[in-house]
Amino acid sequence: MTLVLKNVREWSASNGAETTDFLIEDGQISRKEPEITAPQDATIIDGKGLLALPGFVNAHAHIDKSWLHRDWVSNRAEPSTQGRISFEREKRDEFNIPSTQVTETVLCQMLAFGTTRIRSHIDVDLGVGLRGLETVAEAVENLQNAVEVEVVAFPRDGVIRRPGVRDLLEKSCEPWRRSYRWSRSLPD
């Protein structure tokens, strides 16, 4: 895909109010000049003198278990971290968490506000297994990779006290995990 972004102000202290055009080919800026003649097959967008910024980065998210656009559910757990974790673990299947549709909705909301890169902690435990990772991968794929997601397999409920979780973390790092960058958090 070829795109010409015309009449935008570049993010630069020296540029001031001058506008420029960007030629974007296959998702990469290939040229910038004050006036670019668009190739015949190009999509042209008039930036109307607005500021062109790079995509924002959300460095800490949990996109696998969002409640965005869902009804409020009161957390009736005991008032401790473990109580909240247990309540969430008990209720997540009832509330369809993780969900590809909800994860896509979260990603679209982030994209709408300019976030194009996300580092997300995805729950990996004995109850959910690798379903959260698979859900996120499917949502990103459905959005045709419009957003880059770096994943941290997150053993929120513990590794030491939950035998089998370490094995799940190892599986989460297998190379078959499509083309996403998968990080791992394992104790030494």
The amino acid at residue 85 is I
Any idea what the Cα angle at residue 37 is, between residues 33 and 43, rounded to 5°?
105
Please report the pLDDT score of residue 161 as a whole number: 80
Q: d(Cα 174, Cα 66) in Å, to the nearest integer?
A: 25
Please report the pLDDT score of residue 15 as a whole number.
60
The Cα diameter of the chain in Å comes to 64
**Is-above-0.85 flag for pTM?**
no
C-alpha dihedral over 150, 152, 153, 155, to 10 degrees? -160
Residue 5 has which token pair?
A: 């972004």
Q: What are phi and psi of 85, to 5 degrees?
A: -60, -45
CATH of 57-183, one of 3.20.20.140, 3.60.10.10, 3.30.70.270, 2.40.10.480: 3.20.20.140
* Residue 82 in tokens: 């473990």
Provide the token pair at 149: 């997601």
pLDDT of residue 106: 95
Ranges of the chain with pLDDT below 70: 13-16, 174-188
For residue 174, the model assigns a pLDDT of: 66
Q: What is the pLDDT, as a whole number, of residue 127?
A: 85
Tokens of 43: 């999509």
For residues 118 and 66, the answer to whether their CB atoms sit within 8 Å is no
Domain ranges of the chain: 2-53, 57-183
Decide if domain 2-53 falls under CATH 2.30.40.10: yes
Q: Which two tokens stand for residue 32?
A: 């910038």
The predicted pLDDT at position 188 comes to 39
